[in-house]
Structure 1
Amino acid sequence: MKVRRTPWWQYVIGAVLGLLAGMGLASYGEQSGLSLIGTPWVVAGLLAVLGVIVLVLALQVHKYANTDPKKRPHSFINPSIAVNTLVLSKALGLAGATLAGWYVGQILMSASHFEAPFYHDAIIQCAISAVICIADMIIGIIGEWLCQLPPNEGPENPKIAEAKRRQEVSPAYRKQ
């Protein structure tokens, strides 16, 4: 199975869509009188814990994948856990970008009402959640990088290609 890195533009699209949705929600709440802006503190806490868990899992996968097979500890990482960690990293990066846009959109639409206590608290909550979401996006990108496998000892490995080139050059050199 060949997995490709998430392209940068997908993070940008997620952030822009989140920004537009957050702005739309705040605008709708202002027009209808039904306020839906802000975020509970438990959401920010869960997003932070999720980011730490994904980072720890990605570091374990990276450590295992880059350790010499002869020196690996007896406990090994199940391949499905490694794949799930990669999927979690990809999802965390994209969700972090989208949610950061969502919270920034709410902040932008509510900034003119900052002096009102409700909006003041909602803007602070959204700002903290946006920072955590940006951190989660970065952790997702780093986690995706950490889950890469080192090059195998196949024909595309630079060491193998160099050894093969030397073998091809050696017989021709010996004939002279």
Structure 2
Amino acid sequence: MNAQRTRWWEYALAIILGLLAGIGIAVIESHMTISLTGAPWPVPVIMVIIAFIVLYCAWQVHCYATTEPRKRVGMKRIDPQRAVYTLVFAKTLAIAGALLLGWYGGEIIMTLGHLDATYYRTIAIQCAFAAAASLFDMIIGIVSEGLCQLPPTEGSEHPKMKERRQQQGIA
């Protein structure tokens, strides 16, 4: 499997799509009698907890992957499938965080003109906390994705091997 880092523009695109969706839902909600905006208080807490779980799993993968094979004797072996799942969770956390950051940001934008009303002020506060948790999720997802990156093997393209070839050619 050849996994690549998520590109910066994918996060930007996710934020923009989330922003448009958040604004769209807020506009629809303003014309109907249903409430789709806001975020219950447990949502940001759960989002942060999930981020810490993914970060912990990514840290375990990183510690195992960067430890020399001779020193791994005392360590618990990490299943490669678990390492791949951790990478997928990290990528998902980052993209979902970006989407939700845009979503809650769009809802905040649409409620700014109505902050004098208690209902909209409450929604804006809830969305601000949820947007902060979403930003945290995005950052932790990006960091976790980096932690899951394997160090280069000492194949023909490894910098140490290129250096050895140059030294042998010179000597």
TM-score (norm: length of structure 2): 0.96
Q: Deviations over 1:86-112 (max 9, x none)?
A: 001101100000001000100100111
**1:136, distance to aligned residue in structure 2 (A):** 0.4
1: distance between equivalents of 2:37 and 2:112? Answer: 12
**1:33, distance to aligned residue in structure 2 (A):** 2.7
Point out 4+ residue stretches in structure 1 off by more than 4 angstroms.
none
Query: Pairwise CA RMSD of aligned residues?
Result: 1.0
**1:163, distance to aligned residue in structure 2 (A):** 1.1
Give the aligned partner of residue 149 of structure 1.
Answer: 150
**1:113, distance to aligned residue in structure 2 (A):** 1.2
1: distance between equivalents of 2:75 and 2:21? Answer: 49
Q: How many residues align?
A: 170
Q: What letter matches 1:90 in structure 2?
A: K
Give the aligned partner of residue 168 of structure 1.
Answer: 169
Q: Percent identity?
A: 47
Give the aligned partner of residue 57 of structure 1.
Answer: 57
Unaligned runs of 5+ in 1: 171-176
Structure 1 SS opposite 2:71: coil
**1:122, distance to aligned residue in structure 2 (A):** 1.0
Q: Deviations over 1:10-51 (max 9, x none)?
A: 101110010011001111111123221101122212111110
Alignment of 1:1-176 (within 5 A): 1-72=1-72, 73-170=74-171
2: distance between equivalents of 1:53 and 1:140? Answer: 11
Unaligned runs of 5+ in 2: none
Between 86-95 and 158-167, the greater mean CA deviation after superposition: 158-167
**1:155, distance to aligned residue in structure 2 (A):** 0.8
TM-score (norm: length of structure 1): 0.93
Between structure 1 and structure 2, the one with the greater Rg is: 1
1: distance between equivalents of 2:160 and 2:17? Answer: 45
Q: What letter matches 1:61 in structure 2?
A: V
